[in-house]
Chains A and B, each alone.
Chain A
Amino acid sequence: MSTTTITVTINGEVFEETVPVRMLLVDFIRERAALTGTHIGCTYEGVCGACTVQIDGEAVKSCLMVAAQADGHEITTVEGLAQGGELSPLQRAFNEQHALQCGYCTPGILMNMDEFLRENPDPTDDEIRHGLVGNLCRCTGYAHIVDAVRQAAKETR
């Protein structure tokens, strides 16, 4: 099996690993880095967004890349959101607004909305909903997620 050696920084920790060329980034994160907060919901289409991580600060779907494409880049996963044991305002808002039920889609949503709020610190509800299009949630009906993102925006501004 053809392999390649890559160096990837995940949540500040450097991983130098030899991986099969075809290994998907999401599998690298889950299996090699053992960071299982990043989830797989649609398996191959890149539609559900549960596998969303940030690469160099931008939210992307880690199932639509092979790990080799991340060589030399910095990745942040949901495990990297809380700093020094302190939840980010967005994470706290998700708890306070009951923005998650099963929690399977939640890491992807957090990683997308974390970047979204940096780009748009004062979003309207419609903008939040539009920003969430790449993350499917089957439990909440989205209303509480919108509430949580709005709360985090307000607290962060």
Chain B
Amino acid sequence: MTGTSEGWVGSHFHRKEDHRLITGKGRFLADIARPAALHIVFKRSDHAHATIESVDVSAAKAMAGVVAVVTGDDIKDEILPMPQPVVQPALPATYPKHWPLAVGKVKWHGEPVAAVIARDPYVAADAAEAIEVDYDPLPYVGDAESALADGATIVHEDWPDNIIFQMDFTGGADEESQRAHEAKVQEVFDSADIVIKQRFTCHRCGVAPMETRGALFEWDESDGLTGWLTTQRPHIDRLALSDILEIPAEKIRIIAPRDQGGGFGVKAPFYREPMLIAYMAKKLGRPVRWIETRQEHLMAVSQERDQIHDLEVAAASDGKLLAIRDRGLADCGDGCEGVYWGFLMPFLGAVELPNAYDWPIGDIKVKVAITNKSALSPARAFGEFPTRFAMERAIDMVAKRCGMEPADVRRKNLVATLPHMSITNEYFDSGDFIKVWDNLMAEADLPGFRASQAEARAEGRYLGIGFGLGVELSGVASELFVPMENQPGYGAATVRLDPRGKVLVFEGDAPGGQGHETTVAQAVAHSFGIHPNDVVVTTGDTGTTPFGSGTVGARAGSYFVSAAVQACEFLKEKIARIMAHDLALAEASPADFSFADGFVTYQKDANIKKTFREAVERVIMAPINLPEGESGGLEHTAFFEAEKPMIAFNADVCTVEVDIETGQFKILSWTTSEDVGQIINPQIVEGQMQGAIVQGLSNTMFEEFVYDENGQQLTADFENYKLATAADVPDIKVTHAPTPCPYTPLGSRGIGEGRPSDVPGTLCNAICDALGPFGIEITDLPLRPDSLWRKIQAARGAS
């Protein structure tokens, strides 16, 4: 444990969260017990698309221990349907009406149809099994292209078609300007030396945290509704529940458990199940608890990335990028999911398609189709995993056509000066992409690798090297968040000083393993000149924390920590003002006082000092003889909004060896270069990067949600939805080339959310490099040995 009061920011401070978690004392949702809590089990649809003819609950209701059985028909007049404004983006889309349980028909395999509430969870499962549902199957709409085909079955029956959302990101608002813009882009393509035209597809996969979703609600006539919920955004859940259930918001308190077993986006939407559980807890007047099974989780959520991109790139023969054109198409599933509606991910993916390259012009459009699958739910690298795969692969294809090193094409086209506005109007605030890139290249030793690659190839071994890079959001500024999700982007923190000199920090967002307690404790300790162990952090309780839009978009290191630091600075000024008054130092200004090593010191005379505790206790406990206009007490809530939207940047290199007889490959090395600005806790940053990259690898190589021709989901367990194990992935070397962010008080940037996005491109570029002699281009994910083997076979057969 190193670091001093001067140096807590940037120090190797071992996490405060860990002790309870390594001794079995963590408190996750499933660990929270309420007396006589009932258990809810959902009966889910066996069909992908079918009319519900009848639901027979009589056998279930008759079972000993069953308290209630509820169907869609029972609740459709009791609960307002979705959408409701607080969980509806301000983007022009068609928002499907839905209730927590299917009404009339089911639209995907796994949709909740009924629910059983029983005293014992085993009995609830027995009763759910005993519910008989009679279905009349309807045609299955299984992918985005067939959903948009002429004569396609319409999934949401009152809609004219299956389109939930479509947008032109580059051509302006009206038809005329769009056509003119398209023509302008076409001119560039017409005169370009090189044009790459390729379809890239990304499979359905997602995050699947180790803890599934869950909820526990109880109702009390005087206090109202209290809910413990696995969630990244408790304050939004509270407002949404208020709207749906028509309970005044002040009568609802949502508590995200202090410990949550990962979120990565999937715990950010406002889902159907908690609506029903809250409603039933109120109706029954008894606590009701739901712990999602893994099978439910993999049927209902954690599905993202299902996009097709027809991408075209125009370039000059010297590798200079000239124009981009993309037609994106996403398979949204049924879209019934509060906040995201399955289309916000493809929307943001299109925004981030240009990546860190300096495109003179582009023409980017996206369409999102409704199908009979579960709605896409957010996953870290939100929407951009597929677009970045397409982009990073396309850059390598351009390099090949130019006869250049892919690394050189990247460096040549990186945005060289910041700030920069991308062609999709994404603002890159600050940083130095070239510095990050050059740091990576110093690590990569490309000439050395090319020599060993040639040697290996002479022995019949196929080594490859691949590069990729990514601009990631560092928090989501209100100027993007308000139009996108109808929510504020500011970070909020309440800092409350305790009379004994300890500090309590309250955060309205709800982390799930990112180490907020430690990171903010370091920042606050740094600010007050005290020890991080003297800082206690409370997160995610709407009853005690300031409003926050949630733990999303890498907001912690950028927005939340900045708010906490601002609150500290506000309180320091007050302490200093009162201390100056007490010491009768008329000429002293608050800036003359330092907060370090547990003391508040008058810098012009270091003999004049008080312990931090004395200084604090004076203001809180003895509010007499104060300067005029000053009051006692030390607590402040700060809302931090950066002047500009902010970003972080990274680049990766990996090396692989491919066995051309089997298509099996091994990742030999993986190295990153990062600009996360000022690092607050190096271990936490490294852990975020390693974890994100391995998630990206696991998505790329192993995970895939598969639906059969009738829409039966075949992969709703970990035996079939495979996650990477420790033995499947390489060690990840993380290096840094930081530029402090000028818009945050510490210079920090938010990290981690978008970080998996350049992984599939980087890996596939390495594989294609290894297989250069066969001219193989990987354009579809997942990357599996069997498909690679077929490509190699075909290439060998052709040669």
Contact = CB atoms under 8 A, between A and B. Distances in A.
A68 interface: no
Contact of B727 (A39, A43, A132): A132
Contacts of A130: 726-727
B717 interface: yes
A62 B687 CA distance: 29
Interface string A100-119: 11111111001000000000
Contacts of A126: 727
Contacts of A101: 262, 513-515, 687-688, 691
Given A98-B684, A129-B726, A43 B23 contact: no
Given A95-B14, A136-B210, A138-B207, A100 B21 contact: yes
Given A81-B24, A107-B22, 12 more contacts: A30-B30, A36-B27, A41-B211, A43-B294, A87-B22, A97-B683, A100-B21, A101-B687, A104-B211, A104-B259, A104-B261, A144-B687
Contacts of B264: 138
Interface in A30-72: 30, 35-45, 47-48, 50
Contacts of B731: 125, 143, 146
B25 interface: yes
B182 interface: no
Interface string B280-300: 000000000001011100000
A48 B210 contact: yes
In this complex, the interface size class of chain A, counting residues with CB under 8 Å from chain B, is 35 or more
A145 B686 CA distance: 13
Given A42-B717, A138-B209, A142-B729, A102 B260 contact: yes
B23 A133 contact: no
Contact of B725 (A20, A98, A132): A132
Nearest to A88: B22
A107 B23 CA distance: 8
Contacts of A39: 28, 30, 210-211, 261
A94 B19 CA distance: 10
B313 interface: no
A121 B398 CA distance: 51
A45 B726 contact: no
Contacts of B17: 103
A37 B23 contact: yes
Contacts of B113: none
Contacts of B18: 94-95, 100, 103
Nearest to B17: A103
A94 B14 CA distance: 10
Contact of A36 (B31, B683, B718): B31
B717 A36 contact: no
Contacts of A48: 210, 294, 718
Contact of A95 (B22, B259, B719): B22
A81 B725 CA distance: 24
A33 to B, nearest CB: 11
Given A44-B293, A102-B512, A133-B726, A35 B24 contact: yes
A87 B21 CA distance: 12
